[in-house]
Amino acid sequence: MDNSISQETVIRWRSADDPHFLLRIKRDDAIPIAVQNYLDSAEGRIARESYKCRNRQPWYSVPDVQVPDAFLSYMSGLSPSLVANAAGCVATNSVHVVRLKPGIKVTDLQYQWGDPLTQLSCEIEGHPLGGGMLKLEPREASRIVVRRDASQNPEEADTLMDAVETMRRWRHYG
């Protein structure tokens, strides 16, 4: 699994013309002619009539779009994914954006993400959906416990992983 969205990832998405991009235009930004042409296209005219766009000025400027340090999956099967944002991308609300406090590195957080205590915390804080899915609402995600140090005895890790597996069976995963 790729734990980072890099510039190479973005280049691959562009080359494949994958629909992975959110256009970030601030309210007072000058609009490039190619973007203006798209906004004035048939697709743009349809989009501006959608509920959110009808209620926004200007209609194409999504408010409060920020560049996060990482992304956290909103819904997951086995467990939520934490992906670094090395490319400086922005996101829609289909994933959580993660902003770290000063002094905390994404790589350190990712290292601890697979820890049994963190995995159990994800299971406890999230809530199950049909088909074994685990959903993390923003408030639930903010309560996930991440161990600060890597010290843990094997017996504790085994006990925590047993609890994680029990929670996953309870939500009918796999």
Asked, for residue 63, whether it belongs to a domain, the answer is no
When pLDDT is averaged across residues 102-107 and rounded to a whole number, the result is: 94
pLDDT-derived band at 20 (thresholds 50, 70, 90) equals confident
Residue-range definition of the domain harbouring residue 34: 7-54
Nearest to 164 by CA among 142, 151, 139, 145: 145
Are 13 and 97 members of one domain? no
Asked whether residue 166 is assigned to any structural domain, the reply reads yes
Q: Please give the tally of structural domains in the chain.
A: 2
Q: Looking at the domain assignment, is residue 16 inside a domain?
A: yes
Q: What is the pLDDT of residue 94?
A: 80
Higher per-residue confidence, 68 vs 153: 68
Q: Which distant-in-sequence residues (6+ apart) come within 8 Å of 174 by Cβ? A: 77, 78, 132, 168
How far, in Å, CA of 150 to CA of 104, rounded?
A: 15
Position 67 scores a pLDDT of 92
Question: Would residue 65 count as lying in a domain?
Answer: no
Is the domain of 108 the same as that of 163? yes
| pLDDT (tens digit per residue) in 26-52 | 889 999 999 999 999 999 999 999 998
Q: Sorting pLDDT into bands at 50, 70 and 90, what band is 7?
A: very high
Contact yes or no for 84/3 (Cβ under 8 A): yes
